[in-house]
Structure 1
Amino acid sequence: MLVGLRERIAAELTATLHGGDLKLDRYAGPPGDPGLFGIAPGDPMWRVHGHATGMLTGGFAALMLQSLHPLAMAGVDQHSDFRADPVGRLNGTVRFITTTTFGSSVAAREVIDLVRRIHTRVHGTAPDGRPYRADDPDLLTWVHTAEVRSFLAGHQTYAPRPLRLTPAECDTYYRQVAPVAEALGARDVPRTSRDADRFLARLRPQLHATPAALESVLFLRRFGRTRRERLVTGLLTNASIGLLPAWARTELGIHRPTLVRTGWDRPLATTVGRALQWGLGPSQIQAAAQGRLAGARQG
């Protein structure tokens, strides 16, 4: 019975996160290839991006935080198909993160080139009259920083305490993820926790919730194609609220008391995350990447 349950959880999660196919060839070869950014097991970037609960909650938090930039949100609202195909959008994001972290050099370059091509087609005028384009270096830096700040917050909250990063390792994480953003065209990318905090503080006057942002957050919190999916998404998005800066929760009109966030949301998300991790079992993607990296030592 447990084996059958585990297989069902694994199949459903693989379909939702990866579109049903892990495409392990992106990670398994060629033997000895270090990956485009040289990330290895034990590195902060590998540890953060390999922790399921931290990435799920951090990912939801990132979407909410990113929505507070009116130009970034205008691009999503006017060009993204997240309403019609939210799972497809999720698959693309997961594919980019896993490939740039664990994939071969060729695979990482392919997904980066794909995203760069997509960005050239995303441009327009925001409701406030300002022009925007997705390949704007400053806008790319915002999207990246909001994302990795949220991933790190998710890891530091939901990884077992002995596995959480030290302050020095948190700075290393920012340094390791910065080249990914720069490969997409970002500039002046934060490389330490302090840099990230200063960046957010500097942009704070520009950040506020537009009607499109409030609509997207409501859509996110209600997402789910089945009752079970809506339940899990609701638990994880509630938990992600606790990862946001207090001012971001205020901007989004989210009022969730501290006691609820720490005494209810966090324990539930921890339990759900452990169940999902049990269902997934050891990461096939990380195992394939480790096998590829081991080829250098064997050679």
Structure 2
Amino acid sequence: MSRFDPRTSIDEAFWAMMAAAHLPGEQYTGPPGDPGLFGPDSAIWHVHGDVSAVLGGVSGLILGTLNEPVTHGTNRFSDYLRDPIKRLGFTASFVLGMTYGSTPVAEAEDYFAATRPRLTVSEEVLQAVAFLRRPKGPTPATRISSALLARVATDLLPEWALALLGGRPPLSPATRVAGHALMRTLRYGVRYRMIDEARTRCAAGLADAA
């Protein structure tokens, strides 16, 4: 009988949610020496390599729903309501590929352009926000954790965004403590293997040059 490893259990549960689907071409091992768009010493490697980035991601998704044309288009053409875990996987694949992928991988995924959206709230926006706040995952632990993450992520929104969404009471001390505990648990258990692969890819180029 194999010994229970809590770190492995946490890691597998995390990536079952975050890596359920991948964009074509996502990989982190080659070509050797290619630092990608940012490189190992960049701030984005460090920020996205910490599980607290999930909080910022969920908060950003809620903020993005206020761009009503985008939310309308998402509701028309995305299957996120039918298969939220797959949609989450594609989003994580895009973010991680842009961050840690080689230059060809990142440039293939660079399909967005900066815009200055007109931010509003409609029924579609509220539906999307409610979806993002809804518990998700195949087990009670992942559903409780995802709901807690969404609650803490909502609290990270700027005041004007919270006002547009009808306001939100501040986090209770118990919720704040639970959020910190969840972040510590995820930091303990989650392994970002793509970072190791990307660092090995970058170092390979230095070794070849030497």
Please indicate the TM-score interval, normalised by the length of the shorter structure. 0.7 to 0.9
- TM-score, normalised relative to structure 1: 0.63
Deviation at 1:279? 1.5
SS in 2 for 1:47: helix
Deviation at 1:217? 1.2
Residue of structure 2 in register with 1:271 after alignment: 181
Deviation at 1:288? 0.7
| Residues 94-113 of structure 1: CA deviation (Å, up to 9, x unaligned) | 11111111112232234x2x
SS in 2 for 1:184: coil
Match status 1:45 vs 2:44: yes
| Residues 190-230 of structure 1: CA deviation (Å, up to 9, x unaligned) | xxxxxxxxx6xxx5xx3221101111111221231332222
SS in 2 for 1:216: helix
Deviation at 1:264? 3.9
Deviation at 1:24? 11
Residue of structure 1 in register with 2:204 after alignment: 295
Deviation at 1:233? 1.0
Deviation at 1:46? 1.1
Q: Which runs of 5+ in 2 are unaligned?
A: none
**Identity within the alignment, %:** 30
Q: Which runs of 5+ in 1 are unaligned?
A: 113-182, 190-198
SS in 2 for 1:268: helix
| Residues 166-194 of structure 1: CA deviation (Å, up to 9, x unaligned) | xxxxxxxxxxxxxxxxx42525x7xxxxx
| Distance in 1 of aligned mates of 2:25 and 2:181 | 28
The aligned amino acid for 2:75 is: D
Residue of structure 2 in register with 1:96 after alignment: 94
| Distance in 2 of aligned mates of 1:236 and 1:2 | 29
| Distance in 1 of aligned mates of 2:199 and 2:158 | 35
1:183-198 correspondence to structure 2 within 5 Å: 183-187=110-114
Residue of structure 2 in register with 1:229 after alignment: 142
Deviation at 1:83? 0.5
Contact 1:81 1:89 in 2 (8 A): yes
Aligned residues: 205
Deviation at 1:77? 1.2
The aligned amino acid for 2:145 is: V
- TM-score, normalised relative to structure 2: 0.87
Match status 1:213 vs 2:125: yes
SS in 1 for 2:33: coil
Deviation at 1:26? 1.2
| Distance in 1 of aligned mates of 2:190 and 2:98 | 21
1:136-147 correspondence to structure 2 within 5 Å: none
| Distance in 1 of aligned mates of 2:26 and 2:92 | 16
| Distance in 2 of aligned mates of 1:235 and 1:90 | 17
Aligned CA-pair RMSD: 2.4
| Distance in 2 of aligned mates of 1:41 and 1:227 | 36
Contact 2:55 2:152 in 1 (8 A): yes
Instruction: Note closer, same or farther for the CA distance 1:298–1:243 as it changes in structure 2 (3 Å cut).
Output: same
Contact 1:14 1:20 in 2 (8 A): no
